[in-house]
């Protein structure tokens, strides 16, 4: 397990008996009063976007309907196990959850309300694609408790959208956003990507101005485009059918452009990659998830964590369905997090949500016998990161991320978590 730590992926030691691991995690969770979130996965999309690493496949109406019924069954089986603490956030991700029919959306939401204890301010997010999000689906969602829509816009530039496999034009995007925001029931946020092939500062600024002037969005997520070899987009670039991605420094300029424009607009920063225009947009899911609280996975291919374990559900429908029918959690794999996971969670949560780091809030998560060494190693790493321009010192023991630090937040987090982990290895807390 001597692997680098990162905000998104943490190493774990595989467990042979996944059902035993789930039972142990459930047992340890009994009586827990801490926060928890649910992740519910809809694996299918009607078509593939060229930049997407999450595409799984498509399903016809009958296949999707059968999947939704089995998923509802899974939800109803496990709700009673998690009654000691309310669920703070439910996230329908994918894939394309908005491809469900109104009846399917209502079925899953009613099942959740019936079987789980939800906090009175539980955030329920439905990830949506622009195409096909009609009024009946919006009503089914908000009538049954959805209070946040996350729309995959990426860019408003019609030509660039089409090149990325997004079929709808700017006009349709604006019309869909307007229908959603005017229902006045939910936070409506968009994903915007920067560092797209051929994207200039003027094009990005146009996207930012569009959000500010032509929509009533509650906020947005600002993601950098990363290329993986297996993406269709990577193949198109290799074949000279698409321009190269902008380099690191150009992406940093685009990132700063967004920060400057949002600062001038008075947008509230709610994480290193999320902005809010309206108090309705809290992005509780990111706020809670960043601290690595239990995230209960439901649906094919869903990933999650509970206690010291991380879990991945089956991606094979036949296996998924038969495990649920036999009363098992439909798991494909489980792993045990190393002992430095609680400390890493404190580092990751602070950097992600507060964009700062106060070592005093992290150190108590380390075993007592190595705290001073962990403190010394992290302090030295922080001084180095400060010299390199990623942090500046503030009062009350806090160091704040600079613009460079916010841009490279994942890299900074990975370096600090890996530095701390080395102490655990050297002191033989983990082997
Ligand atoms: S709709 Fe979303 S999940 Fe599906 S291929 Fe496009 S970006 Fe990926």
The whole-number pLDDT of residue 2 equals 64
Residue 44: exposed, middle, or buried by beta-carbon count in 10 A (0-12, 13-18, 19+)? Answer: buried
Q: What are the residues facing 154 on neighbouring strands? A: 192
**Nearest by Cα to 10 from 274, 303, 355, 302:** 303
Helix H or strand E segment including 211? helix 201-214
For a ligand 1 pocket test, name from 50, 95, 97, 168 the mutation site with the most ligand atoms within 8 angstroms of its C-beta. 95
Per-residue pLDDT tens over the stretch 293-306: 999 999 999 999 99
How far is it, in rounded angstroms, from Cα 45 to Cα 52?
A: 11
> In the structure, what pLDDT confidence band is assigned to residue 128 with cuts at 50, 70 and 90?
very high
Domain boundary among 254, 289, 324: 289
Ligand 1 atom showing the smallest separation from residue 95 Cα: 3
Pocket of ligand 1 (CB under 6 A): 45, 48-49, 52, 54-55, 94-96, 129, 152
The whole-number pLDDT of residue 1 equals 56
Whether 54 has a pLDDT exceeding 90, the answer reads no
The angle, 0 to 180 degrees and rounded to 10, between the axes of the packed helices 102-115 and 61-78 is 10
How far is it, in rounded angstroms, from Cα 13 to Cα 385?
A: 30
How far is it, in rounded angstroms, from Cα 171 to Cα 154?
A: 14
138 and 267 belong to one structural domain: yes
Mean pLDDT is lowest, of 23-32, 162-171, 293-302, 408-417, for 162-171
Asked if residue 325 belongs to a domain, the reply is: no
CA of 54 to the centre of ligand 1 (A): 7
Phi first, then psi, for residue 240 (nearest 5°) are 60, 25
How far is it, in rounded angstroms, from Cα 168 to Cα 228?
A: 25
Of all protein residues, whose CA lies closest to atom 3 belonging to ligand 1?
95
The whole-number pLDDT of residue 231 equals 87
Whether 4 has a pLDDT exceeding 90, the answer reads no
Q: What are the residues facing 275 on neighbouring strands? A: 220, 269
CA of 192 to the centre of ligand 1 (A): 14
- Number of Cβ within a 10 Å radius of residue 60: 8
351 and 256 belong to one structural domain: no
CA of 208 to the centre of ligand 1 (A): 22
For a ligand 1 pocket test, name from 41, 46, 48 the mutation site with the most ligand atoms within 8 angstroms of its C-beta. 48
- Cis omega (within 30 of 0) on the bond before 95? yes
Asked if residue 285 belongs to a domain, the reply is: yes
Average pLDDT over the chain reads: 95
CA of 338 to the centre of ligand 1 (A): 32
Asked if residue 4 belongs to a domain, the reply is: no
178 and 276 belong to one structural domain: yes
Of all protein residues, whose CA lies closest to atom 7 belonging to ligand 1?
52
The whole-number pLDDT of residue 323 equals 98
Distance of alpha carbon 75 from the chain centroid:
21
Here the CATH number for the domain that contains residue 180 is: 3.80.30.20
Asked if residue 327 belongs to a domain, the reply is: no
Of all protein residues, whose CA lies closest to atom 2 belonging to ligand 1?
95
239 and 345 belong to one structural domain: no
For a ligand 1 pocket test, name from 42, 55, 133, 164 the mutation site with the most ligand atoms within 8 angstroms of its C-beta. 55
The whole-number pLDDT of residue 224 equals 97
CA of 215 to the centre of ligand 1 (A): 23
How far is it, in rounded angstroms, from Cα 5 to Cα 10?
A: 5
Whether 346 has a pLDDT exceeding 80, the answer reads yes
260 and 378 belong to one structural domain: no
157 and 244 belong to one structural domain: yes
The whole-number pLDDT of residue 418 equals 95
Residues in the chain: 431
The whole-number pLDDT of residue 244 equals 92
Asked if residue 323 belongs to a domain, the reply is: no
274 and 421 belong to one structural domain: no
40 and 155 belong to one structural domain: yes
Q: What is the pTM of this model?
A: 0.96
Asked if residue 196 belongs to a domain, the reply is: yes
- Domain containing residue 123: 13-289
CA of 152 to the centre of ligand 1 (A): 8
Per-residue pLDDT tens over the stretch 235-251: 999 999 999 999 999 99
How far is it, in rounded angstroms, from Cα 81 to Cα 10?
A: 26
Average pLDDT over residues 222-237: 91
Of all protein residues, whose CA lies closest to atom 6 belonging to ligand 1?
49
CA of 121 to the centre of ligand 1 (A): 29
Per cent of the chain over pLDDT 70 is 100
Here the CATH number for the domain that contains residue 361 is: 1.10.10.920
Average pLDDT over residues 221-242: 92
Number of domains in the chain: 2
130 and 31 belong to one structural domain: yes
146 and 23 belong to one structural domain: yes
CA of 173 to the centre of ligand 1 (A): 16
139 and 272 belong to one structural domain: yes
Residue 114: exposed, middle, or buried by beta-carbon count in 10 A (0-12, 13-18, 19+)? Answer: exposed
CA of 55 to the centre of ligand 1 (A): 6
The whole-number pLDDT of residue 394 equals 84
DSSP 8: S
Q: What are the residues facing 148 on neighbouring strands? A: 125, 187
166: left (phi over 0), alpha (psi -120 to 50) or beta: beta
Whether 253 has a pLDDT exceeding 80, the answer reads yes
CA of 50 to the centre of ligand 1 (A): 9
Average pLDDT over residues 350-378: 97
Asked if residue 135 belongs to a domain, the reply is: yes
Whether 52 has a pLDDT exceeding 90, the answer reads no
> In the structure, what pLDDT confidence band is assigned to residue 400 with cuts at 50, 70 and 90?
very high
Per-residue pLDDT tens over the stretch 267-277: 999 999 999 99
Ligand 1 atom showing the smallest separation from residue 47 Cα: 5
The whole-number pLDDT of residue 395 equals 86
Per cent of the chain over pLDDT 90 is 89
Asked if residue 187 belongs to a domain, the reply is: yes
């Amino acid at each position: 397990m001597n692997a680098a730590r990162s905000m998104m992926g943490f190493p774990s030691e595989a467990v042979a008996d996944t059902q035993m691991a789930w039972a142990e995690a459930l047992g340890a969770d009994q009586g827990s009063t801490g926060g928890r979130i649910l992740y519910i996965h809809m694996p299918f999309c009607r078509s593939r976007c060229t930049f997407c690493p999450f595409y799984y496949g498509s399903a016809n109406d009958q296949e999707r309907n059968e999947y939704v019924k089995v998923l509802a069954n899974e939800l109803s089986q496990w709700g009673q196990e998690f009654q000691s603490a309310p669920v703070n956030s439910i996230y329908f991700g994918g894939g394309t959850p908005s491809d469900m029919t109104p009846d399917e959306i209502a079925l899953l939401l009613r099942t959740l309300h019936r079987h789980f204890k939800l906090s009175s301010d539980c955030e329920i997010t439905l990830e949506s694609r622009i195409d096909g999000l009609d009024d009946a689906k919006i009503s089914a969602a908000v009538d049954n408790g959805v209070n946040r829509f996350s729309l995959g816009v990426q860019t408003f530039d019609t030509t660039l959208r089409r090149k990325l496999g997004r079929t709808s034009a700017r006009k349709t995007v604006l019309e869909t956003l307007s229908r959603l925001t005017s229902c006045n029931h939910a936070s409506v946020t968009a994903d915007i990507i920067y560092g797209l092939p051929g994207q200039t500062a003027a094009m990005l600024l146009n996207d930012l101005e569009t959000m500010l002037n032509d929509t009533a969005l509650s906020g947005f997520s600002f993601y950098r485009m990363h290329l993986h070899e297996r993406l269709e987009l990577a193949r198109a670039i290799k074949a000279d059918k698409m321009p190269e991605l902008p380099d690191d420094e150009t992406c940093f300029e685009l990132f700063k452009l967004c920060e400057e424009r949002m600062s001038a607009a008075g947008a509230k920063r709610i994480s290193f990659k999320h902005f809010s225009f309206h108090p309705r947009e809290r992005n509780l899911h990111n706020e809670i998830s960043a601290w690595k609280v239990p995230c209960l996975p439901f649906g094919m291919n869903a990933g999650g964590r509970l206690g010291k374990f991380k879990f991945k559900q089956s991606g094979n429908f036949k296996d998924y369905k038969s495990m649920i029918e036999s009363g098992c959690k439909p798991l494909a794999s489980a792993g045990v997090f190393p002992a430095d996971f609680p400390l890493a969670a404190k580092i990751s949560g602070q950097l992600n949500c507060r964009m700062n780091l106060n070592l005093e809030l992290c150190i108590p998560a380390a075993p007592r016998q190595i705290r001073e060494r962990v403190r010394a190693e992290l302090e030295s790493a922080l001084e180095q990161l400060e010299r390199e321009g990623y942090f500046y010192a503030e009062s009350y023991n806090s160091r704040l991320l600079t613009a460079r630090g916010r841009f490279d937040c994942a890299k900074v987090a990975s370096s600090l978590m890996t530095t701390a982990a080395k102490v655990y290895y050297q002191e033989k807390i983990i082997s």
